[in-house]
């Protein structure tokens, strides 16, 4: 429970920054206000923070620091990765882009844009009610475009789903894709520091991976795209030579100072987070005990900290508002679609629109305690009784 007495169960929307992250940013704000591209002392002082963040991400991702390109966050990293794959296609028939509706909008919206621009044929994958994708359908999608005329193929898949905590079989997906000459982009934004990454982190296992600082207890507005060895990126923005021209624009050394601390903290984070699995399970069991109409998505491989639940006849956003008044922060749908009334496309694809409208996402973090779960359950009891 935070000092304010509130219980924060929305760690997938964003994570509270680590105190050490705040301290590092405070120090950098005073010491590293120079432009990291300048060659004088002030510039060099700032640049040290930028390069340290790059090294910390490389260590987390088992990559070469030269293959880490800093971005403004996960959204930009996903945009860059998808657009790179179709930078040289000119006709819809030249490219195949395979994605599922489970992906975050920073993947699905770009995929739709690429199709509208006539750069690729967009092939949606079938999803299963347990929150995973249909691997037979993936094989079919790749086989459908098994023609020499298709010059670029990309499968974009997330490592961990932001709404259900489903851990997608990325290594298996990559093997199937490579067998058909397709590259793979992994949106790993919700995976770093949460689940073991060894398979995904093998050098060259996938073409590109994305990361966002604020999902790993670092600052917002910074993230990275991590390339496979010898991987190429095609810039979306045009401008100066920052990030070797791949992502022009002055890099923020203060955000980098925080990101470096967060990335180092995320190493081994999966082992720390494993502790909350029993708390998450207790929370779900408690909700079912309060109201037997409560259902929960239980993916076959399930990250320890997320539960996507729904109660009969209870609207998700209304429940979020009622629980907020009781001091509990949770989400309905994905955080990024908060503020719109559209139910999540991912949950709709899995279980239909009605279930999506009732969805509540509870996401725990490494600081969540048994007392938090007890407090949350009492608040749910009050709200459900009304």
Q: Are 86 and 111 in contact (CB under 8 A)?
A: no
208 binds ligand PLP (CB under 6 A): no
Residue with tokens 């994605």: 99
335 binds ligand PLP (CB under 6 A): yes
Tell me, by CB under 6 A, how many residues bind ligand PLP: 15
Closest CB to ligand PLP among residues 112, 139? 112
The contacts of residue 44 (CB under 8 Å, 6+ apart) are: 34, 38
212 binds ligand PLP (CB under 6 A): yes
Single out the segment in contact with ligand PLP by CB under 6 A; choices: 46-54, 68-76, 303-311, 371-379: 68-76
Single out the segment in contact with ligand PLP by CB under 6 A; choices: 26-34, 73-81, 287-295, 320-328: 73-81
Closest CB to ligand PLP among residues 192, 380? 192
The contacts of residue 291 (CB under 8 Å, 6+ apart) are: 311, 312, 384
- The least distance separating ligand PLP from the CB of residue 329, rounded to whole angstroms, comes to 15
Single out the segment in contact with ligand PLP by CB under 6 A; choices: 71-79, 252-260, 320-328, 343-351: 71-79
Question: Is 296 an annotated catalytic residue?
Answer: no
Question: Which x/- pattern over 267-286 shows residues binding ligand PLP (rule: CB under 6 A)?
Answer: --------------------
Name the burial class of residue 290, with classes exposed (0-12), middle (13-18) and buried (19+) by CB atoms within 10 angstroms of its CB: middle
State both tokens at 287: 């909700």
CA atoms within 13 A on the CB side of 22: 5
| Residue 192 to residue 263: CA distance in whole angstroms | 9
The contacts of residue 281 (CB under 8 Å, 6+ apart) are: none
| Residue 218 to residue 27: CA distance in whole angstroms | 15
74 binds ligand PLP (CB under 6 A): yes
DSSP bridge pairs for 360 = 309
104 binds ligand PLP (CB under 6 A): yes
Interaction site with ligand PLP (CB under 6 A) = 73-75, 78, 104, 106, 158, 162, 187, 189-190, 212, 223, 335-336
Provide the annotated active-site residues.
336
């Amino acid at each position: 429970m935070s000092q304010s007495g509130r219980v924060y169960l929305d760690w997938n929307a964003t994570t509270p920054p680590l105190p050490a992250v705040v301290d590092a940013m405070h120090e950098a704000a005073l010491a590293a206000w120079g432009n990291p591209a300048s060659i004088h002392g002030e510039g060099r002082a700032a640049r040290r923070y930028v390069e340290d963040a790059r090294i910390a991400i490389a260590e987390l991702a088992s990559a070469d620091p030269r293959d880490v390109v800093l971005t403004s966050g996960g959204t930009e990293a996903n945009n860059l990765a998808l657009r790179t794959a179709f930078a040289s296609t000119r006709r819809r028939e030249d490219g195949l882009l395979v994605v599922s509706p489970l992906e975050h909008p920073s993947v699905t919206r770009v995929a739709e844009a690429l199709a509208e621009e006539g750069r690729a044929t967009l092939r949606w994958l079938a999803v299963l009610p347990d929150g995973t994708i249909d691997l037979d359908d993936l094989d079919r999608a790749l086989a459908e475009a098994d023609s020499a005329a298709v010059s670029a193929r990309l499968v974009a898949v997330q490592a961990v789903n932001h709404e259900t905590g489903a851990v997608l079989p990325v290594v298996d997906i990559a093997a199937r894709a490579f067998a058909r000459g397709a590259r793979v982009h992994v949106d790993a934004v919700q995976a770093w520091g949460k689940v073991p990454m060894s398979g995904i982190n093998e050098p060259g296992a996938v073409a590109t991976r994305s990361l966002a600082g604020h999902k790993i207890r670092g600052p917002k507005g910074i993230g990275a795209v991590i390339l496979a060895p010898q991987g190429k990126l095609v810039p979306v923005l045009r401008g100066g030579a920052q990030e070797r021209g791949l992502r022009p624009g002055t890099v923020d050394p203060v955000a980098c100072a925080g990101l470096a601390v967060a990335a180092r903290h995320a190493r081994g984070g999966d082992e720390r987070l494993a502790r909350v699995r029993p708390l998450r399970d207790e929370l779900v069991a408690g909700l079912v005990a309060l109201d037997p109409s409560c259902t929960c998505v239980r993916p076959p491989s399930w990250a320890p900290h997320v539960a996507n639940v729904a109660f009969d006849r209870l609207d998700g956003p209304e429940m979020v508002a009622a629980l907020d008044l009781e001091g509990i922060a949770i989400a309905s749908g994905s955080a990024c679609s908060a503020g719109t009334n559209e139910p999540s496309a991912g949950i709709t694809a899995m279980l239909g629109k009605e279930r999506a409208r009732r969805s509540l996402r509870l996401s725990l973090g490494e600081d969540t305690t048994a007392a938090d779960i007890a407090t949350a359950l009492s608040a749910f009891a009050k709200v459900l009784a009304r």
